[in-house]
Amino acid sequence: MQVKEFGELESAIMDALWRADRPLAVREVRETMTYHRDIAYTTVMTVANILFHKGLLDREKSGRAWRYWPRESREEHTARVMSEVLSGSGDPGATMLRFVEGFTDEEVARLHEVLAEVRTRRTLAS
């Protein structure tokens, strides 16, 4: 399975929208995004439309412009991509092991906290 990754411009647009506390018009995305060169309004509009059709953004009409917002948080997106990587690997358990082996002691401690939180949530849900 191929993992969806953002191109440089897609990433800049998504970052601007993830930082925003409300839907943004393309003009606002262009003004607030961090990108290494000047980019045309129409280019940002085209890429935002592509991200919408990929299912990564939602949008609503506001006058003549579209306002865009992410369908999932940055954390939800990252978790989904990580899940796609694991399910696409030959051996998800071995892949997880290799990934976790690279953790610092602090990251291992945080992993233990997260696992305890997951267990608590599952217990409460059942």
Give me the pLDDT at residue 4, please. Answer: 52
Q: What is the mean pLDDT of residues 19-33?
A: 97
Q: Model confidence over 62-71: pLDDT tens digits?
A: 999 999 999 9
| Greater model confidence, 7 or 2 | 7
Whose tokens are 């411009």? That residue is: 9
Residue 74 CB neighbours (<10 A): 13
Q: Check pLDDT > 80 for residue 1.
A: no
Number of CB atoms found within 10 A of residue 2's CB = 6
pLDDT of residue 126: 87
Helices 8-19 & 74-88 angle (0-180, nearest 10): 140
Residue type, 66: W
Three-class secondary structure of residue 12 per DSSP: helix
The identity of residue 3, as a single letter, is V
CA 89/CA 96 separation, integer angstroms: 10
Range 37-48 average pLDDT: 95
Task: Give the tokens for residue 83.
Answer: 């899940």
pLDDT of residue 5: 72
Least Cα distance to 72 among 28, 14, 115, 29 occurs for: 14
Q: What is the mean pLDDT of the chain?
A: 93
pLDDT attached to residue 6: 87
Per-residue pLDDT of 50-107, as tens digits, reads 999 999 999 999 999 999 999 999 999 999 999 988 988 889 999 999 999 999 999 9
User: What CA–CA distance (Å, rounded) separates 54 from 33?
Assistant: 20
On whether the CB atoms of residues 33 and 12 are closer than 8 A, the answer is: yes
pLDDT at 111 exceeding the cut of 90 = yes
